[in-house]
Structure 1
């Protein structure tokens, strides 16, 4: 144990939300250096500047888009401490579902025009069955969640085995795919507990959460820049850590151009990358961190409206469109972020460089983001993650949104938990974190 009051040299590796949260808390008592392998902080908080159509700059987000106070309390507290909680505005949570293969289309939370955009739905039995199944799922899922009847290993495909194919493939799976920014092929094998729990917590099973969703005026760069200005420690960008070696009572970080030694290290990167950095990974670390796999999602920022239906009543924040057996997800940023521009801006998942639905002259940029796949192995490993950070005499600690549902709030919670664990193991005392109001 360290003597009380000792200021440790702490390295936090990874400049995403978990790394920033851990670094902020630890910098209250220690000398912290935050290392980021890329040229910017923020991770999935990635806003870029585009032309609003009138020659003025406009910031649009490309990954992390919205949050609300009820389900993101730690993140909201962080925004308040950074002084940027007022630089937000209402966001939109509407969704549309278009299946050109069976000629069915409708929108939710877009008013009567979106729901009734296709009149033939009102004489289509499959349409009524879909919403009858939604009501049945709502009652069943709420009961099963409250009574803890859903096994962690049960996939959503297994849980929905008795429901119709249109309900699963035209409503539930596209909605989950849009939320987790993952191709539909991964969703069917996701744990039912994770998906239904998220749906229920966010009011999606009932159609509306009653919570005010927020987005940033000027993009998420607002809070990332505020963090940089307020952070008292050192920040090193373009500094990828190659290897981490634990040497007795210290930790050595190896870079391409040298090395540095710290008393403690928080690895706030994706689980597989944290494991790859460890030059002396234990069997426990290999088992837990190695259980997480990731999907590399290519996302195109563009202005081509062909990715959604031509009927603008169906243009929702989240749009699932099925054509030729392939379901695609497009976010209509003008609605999601209330963009003050006459130009239409979209984010489309799984967009190749030669995508036929996105004209080259309307494509702004293409991004690549990694998302954890919460299969049964990952959900099981999540239960063992706290033990990695609670080992007596631990020198390395782990944080990431993969410890929860993969969202911003999960990243904040994981970063703060890693910081608190570092304090407990080093000083046998809890880190004094701000109390939630």
Structure 2
């Protein structure tokens, strides 16, 4: 199929923006938006506070590095800065006399002593781990008609969960996550719901990802996408999309018709169906099967909608109400966006009758998809409704979140033959880790001369951000004394000092480190790698630090090519079977969900030795990674003894000169 040259994207939510951005790499794009504002749920409000202005998001607010890969790739290419967010949830039920918050520790679970005297509440806490186990067990079963059709309410009945648990935990969780009526939450397909919760680390007490928010508000990424596009038209409602043998005719509300090579319809499904001039029976069936529910949102500062007990105030706050239908949920944007203010800026759904009108800053109308067995069944068939010229996109292709919209937008562009290439044309920019990751690794050593020998073993390795080093106590912590530089500084300070000696300034950018942690009082890293990035997450340099079993260390600063390759002269005695002569050929690409570190030594005498570590991100890292350093050191020493026993010549160990900012 020939790649289209002129493309129209209808709708400027995240799905339309992503589709337009991808298409703009190779085509001229016209973005059409019925509203006078771009962004959809990426909705940033500028609020004046004294002599400053706060950028506050009221729609899309948070994301994470684990489950938003498409959005992270978009942010990486656009240079969008993000920061850590606070993710917690509270439940307030005035008629039950209950207030509590999750993810805030014991303080949140017991904000007052009343919860300690509430047997039903204490039992509910005991039911939560069983709920998690049953949900994971359901996902472990092969999907059949029975498991696919079971609703959340039926699941709770089958599990014999108490009415107290059902109302104050189960319904509240789904209603808060999807901004839906608690009664509707019970009709959600259980398996579909649990797939989402599992995907986001929410079917365990611990293990949720670190959530983040866009610095300066989501308007930042919207503006950067729009700057890449050829033509943007707001206040332009599309009334007809008609596919012809030669193109797609798009008619707007003024009666003007323009023909494009291809069109991405990135609106809600009902809107998409309404603008199709000649929908197929399947398009009519599936688009009509996915309903949306409207929600009025208020941006305000009325804290009366939060729990009465301040210690239960959370990022998401669900208020149970028997006197009003629908959901009442309040998001604390000051917490979520870490706004530099003492005022709690809030956005509430379903609280128009509760919020003091004098404290309302703005009013928004949003819509969210409703999931039931019919809509989920229709969703699975959505790939069937697109054509070679017309593709559909929207968060309704997934769980209804920003990542689902971004992913569907990229997929729609790809369906039309528009591949996502990076701005340089060299391929995708990886989604870089923003929190500690553990990798299962395979380490392989190959010696080709003067005798051939190789050995392979499995191990573990961490990739961590030098500004957010995890501390797992005796099972694993990262200490400056185990790496280059002074032990009385931080690892980051030492890396910055070293690269500065080579004329490299990081200017506040991140440093990602691949290394073993110190566990049980011991640490050994044959190789540690530091990827140095600037404040736009662009690679500035890479530091490869080498340790030998004698306690020496040496750091090499390299500037790898786009595939992570670099060459550097060897300068340290690492193995007793090699001197300090030769050249290293390194391969150290930026880590993603895969990790690769490869070293090939060619000596001045033509001897070749190579070592490589390949890894894949894996869960359960702390306990399994703890013995990695000790076992690795033991295996290396054992292999050295084996080579010595076979008669491999030992080279004398020289005295190493002190390397500035390293030793």
TM-score (norm 1): 0.92
CA contact (8 A) 2:30 2:229 kept: no
Q: Establish whether residue 71 from structure 1 lines up as the match of residue 67 from structure 2.
A: yes
1:138–1:403 Cα change, 3 Å: same
| 1:254 maps to which of 241, 251, 255 | 251
**Matched residue, 2:462:** none
CA distance in 2, matches of 1:209, 1:276: 43
Please give the secondary structure, in 2, of the residue aligned with 1:211: coil
**Matched residue, 1:384:** 381
* Alpha-carbon distance, 1:146 to partner: 2.1
CA distance in 2, matches of 1:61, 1:232: 24
Q: Establish whether residue 318 from structure 1 lines up as the match of residue 316 from structure 2.
A: yes
CA contact (8 A) 2:293 2:368 kept: yes
1:93–1:246 Cα change, 3 Å: same
1:339–1:435 Cα change, 3 Å: closer
**Matched residue, 2:493:** none
Q: Establish whether residue 106 from structure 1 lines up as the match of residue 106 from structure 2.
A: no
**Matched residue, 1:141:** 135
**Matched residue, 1:309:** 307
- Shift >6 Å, 4+ stretches: none
**Matched residue, 1:182:** 180
**Matched residue, 1:348:** 348
| 1:375 maps to which of 372, 376, 379 | 372
CA contact (8 A) 1:49 1:60 kept: yes
TM-score (norm 2): 0.61
Instruction: Give the 5 Å matches for 1:82-231.
Output: 82-84=78-80, 87-148=81-142, 151-161=147-157, 162-229=160-227, 231=228
Which has the larger helix fraction? Answer: 1
CA contact (8 A) 1:101 1:325 kept: no
| 2:296 maps to which of 270, 295, 298 | 298
CA contact (8 A) 1:303 1:345 kept: yes
* Alpha-carbon distance, 1:199 to partner: 1.7
Once structures 1 and 2 are overlaid, which stretch shifts more, 278-287 or 93-102? 93-102
**Matched residue, 2:334:** 334
Please give the secondary structure, in 2, of the residue aligned with 1:102: coil
CA deviation map 1:94-144 (0-9, x unaligned): 111111111122111123222221213223221122122111111111121
CA distance in 1, matches of 2:334, 2:275: 40
CA contact (8 A) 1:246 1:252 kept: yes
**Matched residue, 2:237:** 240
With CA pairs under 8 Å and 6+ residues apart, which has the higher RCO, 1 or 2? 1
1:10–1:362 Cα change, 3 Å: same
Q: Establish whether residue 396 from structure 1 lines up as the match of residue 390 from structure 2.
A: yes
CA contact (8 A) 2:42 2:60 kept: yes
CA deviation map 1:238-296 (0-9, x unaligned): 11111111222211111122111111111011111111100100101101111110000
Q: Establish whether residue 19 from structure 1 lines up as the match of residue 13 from structure 2.
A: no
**Matched residue, 2:417:** 423
Q: Establish whether residue 62 from structure 1 lines up as the match of residue 58 from structure 2.
A: yes
CA distance in 2, matches of 1:208, 1:337: 22
* Alpha-carbon distance, 1:163 to partner: 1.2
CA deviation map 1:178-233 (0-9, x unaligned): 1112232321111112222222222222133342110122211111111122x142
CA distance in 2, matches of 1:220, 1:208: 28
CA contact (8 A) 2:268 2:394 kept: yes
CA contact (8 A) 2:75 2:221 kept: yes
CA distance in 2, matches of 1:313, 1:416: 42
Please give the secondary structure, in 2, of the residue aligned with 1:130: helix
1:143–1:18 Cα change, 3 Å: same
Structure number, greater radius of gyration: 2
CA distance in 2, matches of 1:181, 1:50: 24
**Matched residue, 1:34:** 31
1:295–1:323 Cα change, 3 Å: closer
CA deviation map 1:389-427 (0-9, x unaligned): 3x4xx3211111101000111111101111111118xxx
Q: Establish whether residue 412 from structure 1 lines up as the match of residue 406 from structure 2.
A: yes
* Alpha-carbon distance, 1:377 to partner: 1.2
Once structures 1 and 2 are overlaid, which stretch shifts more, 200-209 or 184-193? 200-209
CA distance in 2, matches of 1:387, 1:7: 20
Unaligned runs of 5+ in 2: 422-426, 431-591, 593-663
CA contact (8 A) 1:45 1:64 kept: yes
Paired residues in the alignment total: 419
CA RMSD in angstroms comes to 1.8
Unaligned runs of 5+ in 1: 425-429
CA distance in 2, matches of 1:208, 1:44: 29
* Alpha-carbon distance, 1:323 to partner: 4.0
* Alpha-carbon distance, 1:152 to partner: 2.5
1:208–1:63 Cα change, 3 Å: farther
* Alpha-carbon distance, 1:67 to partner: 0.3
